[in-house]
Amino acid sequence: MARIAKTHSIGMDELNRIVALDGPELLHQITLTLHNMFDSQCCSIIEIDKVNYSAQTLSFACSHQIAQPFSYSLSGTPCDIVSKSDSVFCLFEKDVRQQFPQDTYLVDNDVESYLGVPLRNRSGDILGILLSTFTAETKQTSSLIYYHTLFANIVIHSLRSKWLAARSDTLVHQLSHEVSHDNLTGLLNRSYLSNSLERFTQTKSEPFTLAYIDIDNFKSINDLYGNYIGDQVLKFVGRAIEEALQEENQAYRIAGDEFAFITFSSDPLAICQTLISRLNKGYTDPSHRIKISISIGLARKTEQRLTPDQLILNASLALKDCKQTRNSKVQSYDTHLSAQYYRRAMVIDALRNELDRTSDAGSEIYVVAQPIVSLDSERWDYFEILTRWNSDTLGAVSPAEFIEAAEQSGLIIELGERIVELACVAKQELEAGLGYKIRLSLNCSAHELSDSSRYMRHLTKTITRMNFEPREFTIELTETVLLSQTNNVRYILDKLRNQGFTIALDDFGTGYSSLNYIHSYPIDTIKIDATFIKNMLSNETSERVVSLIIQLAKQLDVNLVAEGVESEEALQKLKGMGCNQIQGYFFSKPEIPINIITHYANVSSTRQKGMGQAN
């Protein structure tokens, strides 16, 4: 016969008092209330760890008091059954310890019956259990089930924010690993190498060496032994590089059979010789013995200012020279980059002269717009502004070149102000041609925010003069901005948002740090980097990364834009994943306003003709 306390109900005043509680205090009060109401052996709220297949007590009431929390394995317990059940509750009326002899708690405490109510999130996943155990047979009664399910719903509501935060953190960590690591070898990847080089060139004063490594004749290994053995060889080489290095987490896989490492050692050649000796012993398994040789190119960063791209280029050139030189396994880059420096000086000088001219005096610098298309709307009413430069003396100068030159020469703030002014003129032209209001997305660099007062003053003054409002503009940032002057950046972003501007994080997924900063900064929109979009149709890792970013955006309730969409297949895959804002050549390449207006008119005309034929 069931052991149930005399009081089978609870008054509204008491219930309201319990519901008003929060956190552990609420959980403890619920377990104590149920424990006392039904005279149970214990009442507990547990959280399920699916990774380790275990349970952790969040509240445990026994002998009319709260006991210390503990954890236990789910295997062989009634909780295991509840965690896999679709039922509202699971009741084992008697002989529960005989049914689960591996559950030492049931056996040691002479537990006869068990009631478990699963705690589900909105998607139906069971994340915890509210349970009671009894030392006598327990029959199913309306009050027993009613109060356990009632309090289970209260617990779910209380823990929902905790579970959502945990889910977001899990997605962030999973996404961080996918983005920064190579799936096969477990080494850091090419993207993370670029981040590391950028960090070291900006923050480290001591010299370091970048080494690029290529496995000689790796294709013949794959052809002869098959892809599986080829993969084992790649793993073997990756481990050998890690073991040869003094530094941790500085070994990278950058392409199929290409690796890299960074070392601060004063004798990088010794590390190379150690690595070569290890690999000369060859890869062995019970069926194979494969000799492995490698070629290495070295680029040294000393007091000379070198960008990460230049270091990578120098190491690549050294590696190429090494592979072309007989009897050479290691080659160092030692050629001065005089031609490159001369070109940079010419670009800076021409840019300075151009910025000295007024913006309306036949500017060589101009802006183009690329639509960010919402699949839910037929209008193009959102555009990113990009900058172009067609110099009279240098010809067409790439944005990467003149922006880097502007940053190195201190001209980036003046260039940014010129771009804002040209963007507002382009906005007027687009609205006049399209016949409706549009929004613009403007890129902002860390250098511009270094003088936040000047940036804010010029931005707001310009859009006010042109009769625009802040809500018509999105400010796009890259990870570099978030990495610099943290407190100042947070302040300026809050100020921008308070005025009505929208904040977007550009190139999302390429930087490890940005994945951890989206909780800390006021970000409204994230833009998936075009590299993942372009690769997702042929690369499972890229497709998983895109899917994770889309899930994360939904979890965090931020807007999402996919960049670099060039095909119908990519568009449909993104649409199926739940991404409805698209930017890329599929709709339009970046164009001057008049060309955008003409292009949109042609698209609209084609759409209308198609609808007419369909009717």
pLDDT tens digit string along 446-502?
Answer: 888 888 899 999 999 999 999 999 999 999 988 777 766 567 788 888 999 999 999
**Would you call 42 helix, strand, or coil by DSSP?**
strand
User: Tens of pLDDT along 424-454?
Assistant: 999 999 999 999 999 999 999 888 888 889 9
| Residue 242 neighbours by CB under 8 Å, 6+ apart | 187, 251
- Residue 391 has phi, psi (to 5 degrees) of -80, 140
Token code pair at residue 300: 């040294």
DSSP state of 209: E
CATH superfamily for domain 345-606? EAL domain (3.20.20.450)
**Would you call 531 helix, strand, or coil by DSSP?**
helix
pLDDT of residue 338: 43
Report for 125-129, 276-280, 314-318: range of highest mean pLDDT: 276-280
| pLDDT, averaged across the chain | 88
pLDDT of residue 515: 61
Statement: residue 566 has pLDDT above 60: yes
Over residues 570-580, the mean pLDDT reads: 94
Picking from 8-12, 28-32, 573-577, which range would have the lowest pLDDT averaged per residue?
8-12
Separation between Cα atoms, residue 59 and residue 106, nearest integer Å: 18
More confident site: 419 or 199: 419
> CA 69, 72, 78, 82: dihedral to nearest 10 degrees?
80
Separation between Cα atoms, residue 261 and residue 185, nearest integer Å: 14
Assigned CATH for 12-172: 3.30.450.40
pTM of the entire predicted model: 0.53
pLDDT of residue 183: 87
Q: What percent of the chain shows pLDDT beyond 70?
A: 91
More confident site: 254 or 8: 254
Statement: residue 54 has pLDDT above 50: yes
pLDDT of residue 613: 60
Separation between Cα atoms, residue 56 and residue 42, nearest integer Å: 15
CATH architecture of 190-333: 2-Layer Sandwich (3.30)
Statement: residue 83 has pLDDT above 50: yes
- Residue 134 has phi, psi (to 5 degrees) of -135, 150
Separation in Å, CA 563 to CA 99, 461, 559, 583: 56, 30, 13, 5
Distance from chain centroid for Cα 400: 24
pLDDT of residue 147: 94
pLDDT of residue 157: 84
Q: What percent of the chain shows pLDDT beyond 90?
A: 57
Identify which of 197, 224, 219 has the alpha carbon closest to the alpha carbon of residue 208.
Answer: 197
The CB-side HSE value for 365 (13 A sphere, CA atoms) comes to 28
pLDDT of residue 131: 97
User: Tens of pLDDT along 263-310?
Assistant: 999 899 999 999 999 999 999 988 888 989 999 999 988 766 778 888
pLDDT of residue 339: 57
Over residues 12-41, the mean pLDDT reads: 91
User: Tens of pLDDT along 323-369?
Assistant: 877 778 888 886 543 455 567 789 999 999 999 887 555 789 999 99
Statement: residue 6 has pLDDT above 50: no
User: Tens of pLDDT along 184-216?
Assistant: 999 999 989 988 998 888 887 788 999 999 999
Picking from 74-88, 315-329, 488-502, which range would have the lowest pLDDT averaged per residue?
315-329
Given pLDDT bands bounded at 50, 70 and 90, which one contains residue 403? very high
pLDDT of residue 599: 94
Residue boundaries of the structural domains of the chain: 12-172, 190-333, 345-606
Distance from chain centroid for Cα 287: 41
Residue labelled with tokens 């009442």: 43
Identify which of 429, 417, 357 has the alpha carbon closest to the alpha carbon of residue 387.
Answer: 417
Separation between Cα atoms, residue 29 and residue 34, nearest integer Å: 9
pLDDT of residue 423: 97
